[in-house]
Structure 1
Amino acid sequence: MSESWPGNSPRHPHRWCSAREELSSFWVMPNSKVARMMVNHHDQETIVLVKRTRDKEAAARSAKCVADVHFALVDFLAAGQTLSEIDEFIGRTLEGMGCKSAFLRYRIPGHPPFPSHSCLSPNDCVVHGTHLMTDKPIAPGDLLSIDIGVTHKGWIGDAAWTYGIEGVEDEAMRLMRAGRESLKAGVDAMQPGRPLLDWARAVENCINEASFSLVQGLGGHGYGRRLHGPPFISNVVPKRQGEWPDAFRTFEPGLLVAVEPMVNARTPDITNTPSDWPIFTSDGALSVHYEADVLITEHGRDVLTESMFDLPDIVGN
């Protein structure tokens, strides 16, 4: 599993690793060409709506745990740290909060158990990076997307943010801004009785205006007492019938979802090594990942990780 970091190449200045065969993620668009390979079969269930007050409060507490870990990372992250050191810090922080990682030892067919407490995805790694990817420290100017999933008293929290290490180049800053703003625009579009498609339209419009690309085939998901469940929430408006079967399903009161744009600086195409977790941009360009936990209510939506919108873009100064 472990892989050295050979450094930047002239062709792909942000690439960490060599080219990889095209595959996808553990949560994929159901009709994508990789879905039959990667889908987690026990997650194919009826949508569960959160109705009881005590369950809503439990979900909110789990989401707050995720946000609290991210805020702890703001003071911790710095150039010179390895991914292993960062993941160890996250593990210790979760333990101190009485939580467990929802990602550690997570299983899907064809993959080894996920080895890390968190997903640590630097530069051209889109999602699902692990502490085993490299032992080279993060450096000034790097981007690092950190996705944290927790289990707290039986309920999941799951949210991601992208951090620039000690300042980044203009393109990286614009990419982070676009990713963050697309998440906010998408969340603002989530209203009870409206189709899931409204989310994708808002996100896609925001990213198109910024002249970046949305990763296709990967997206958000329902959750609750399990990490992944229906519905699948695409970040991209479907271009043909049947591409996203849930597109016109409505946001129902009680629906608990993790929504997550993944935005690439150039091509939307992604690659990875078969049976390995990390997913990369196919051209070695930068990628960012932002994720929020949202509960649909009778009159709107409750963003359970709303405090994360106050997280900084740049850390380690």
Structure 2
Amino acid sequence: MSRITLKNAQDIEALRKAGGLVAETFRYLEPFVKPGASLLELDKLAEDYIRSKGAIPAYIGYRGFPNTICVAVNEGICHGIPSPYRLREGDIVGVDIGVQLNGYYGDACYTYTVGHVSPLARKLVETTRECLEAAIKTVKPGSYIKDIGFAIQELAESRGFSVVREYIGHGIGKKLHEQPDIPHWVPKSRSLNSTYNTRLKEGMVFTIEPMINAGHYATKLLADQWTVVTADGSLSAQFEHTIAVTSKGADILTL
């Protein structure tokens, strides 16, 4: 707990404003996510919208990342660099957006469906959204970080899907990435490390961002050293919210 920065009411309201802008940006992009739209066009739309609201795109320049949004099409999992690729009927595309507003960060991800998608793709997207919802329901003072992973893994695997291991949620505040780490799965070992056994406490703020694969959970990093895809080429989906722990439970800051 000593490395986890607890937020006060003023911090949380500032984080809510940043998170609210992220949610607004997703709504703004939605009508443009259609067959024929290029990923670079979506990136430019998001950047212009965020800047028009007096905020800064959080990802541009972060550890060298070149763009405003991370995109993950079909077998993409996360951290994809926008390209000239044009969306096609039946694609699914995860869009991850971060902003900095008045010194505080907002961070969320949404997976869009492009036109009519396959039954498998729809089931995967719906399940991933439900995994996030199930995880959020576990958040309250006194519960454990491992409860979040249990909820996600149990639901995903019951539907025949798998949970990505390497990429996890994280604390957020005046820095984009803070403590605690939020794994989305739980090892079967009886002796879990301190991360999993950390109790949630009022004032903690973090992201929950399950990445769910239709096939195996193994991942592959592409040559650009950013884009992560499924090792077996199966579909992947992601949803993410920024969450504050309150005395009443979870307060979603990216609605």
Aligned to 1:62: 18
1:83 equivalent in structure 2: 39
Q: Contact 1:238–1:244 (CA<8 Å) still a contact in 2?
A: no
1:123 to 65, 68, 74: 74
Code of the aligned partner of 1:228: H
Q: Does 1:208 align with 2:165?
A: no
Q: Deviations over 1:167-211 (max 9, x none)?
A: 200000000011000000000011111111111111111101111
Secondary structure of 1:218's counterpart equals coil
Residue 121 of structure 1 aligns with an amino acid whose one-letter code is A
Bigger strand share? 2
The answer to whether the aligner puts 1:150 opposite 2:106 as a matched pair is no
TM-score where L is the length of structure 1: 0.78
Partners of 1:126 and 1:294 lie apart in 2 by 21
What's 1:92 paired with?
A: 48
Secondary structure of 2:152 counterpart: helix
Match of 2:136 in 1: 187
Runs (4+) of structure 1 moved beyond 4 Å?
Answer: 241-244
Is 1:49 the counterpart of 2:2? The answer is no
Task: Count the aligned residue pairs.
Answer: 254
Residue 93 (structure 1) shift: 0.7
One-letter amino acid of the structure 1 residue matched with residue 79 of structure 2: H
Q: CA RMSD in A?
A: 1.4
Taking the aligned partners of 1:289 and 1:103, their CA distance within structure 2 comes to: 18
Shift of 1:242: 6.3
| Contact persistence 1:118–1:148 (CA under 8 A) | yes
TM-score scaled by length of structure 2: 0.96
| Residue identity matched to 2:125 | M
* Inter-CA distance 102–244: structure 2 relative to 1 (3 Å threshold): farther
Distance 2:220 2:191 in 1: 24
Q: Which runs of 5+ in 2 are unaligned?
A: none
The residue aligned with 1:218 is 167
Report if aligned partners of 2:222, 2:229 keep a CA contact under 8 Å in 1: no
Amino acid at match of 1:170: P
Q: Which amino acid aligns with 2:115?
A: E
Q: Percent identity?
A: 31
The Cα offsets for residues 121-147 of structure 1, whole Å up to 9 and x where unpaired, read as 111110000114xx2311110010000
1:145·1:163 contact (CA, 8 Å) conserved in 2?
A: yes
User: What corresponds to 1:311 in structure 2?
Assistant: none
CA contact (8 A) 1:234 1:244 kept: no
What is the CA-CA distance between 1:240 and the residue it aligns to? 2.7
1:289 alignment partner, one of 231, 238, 244: 238
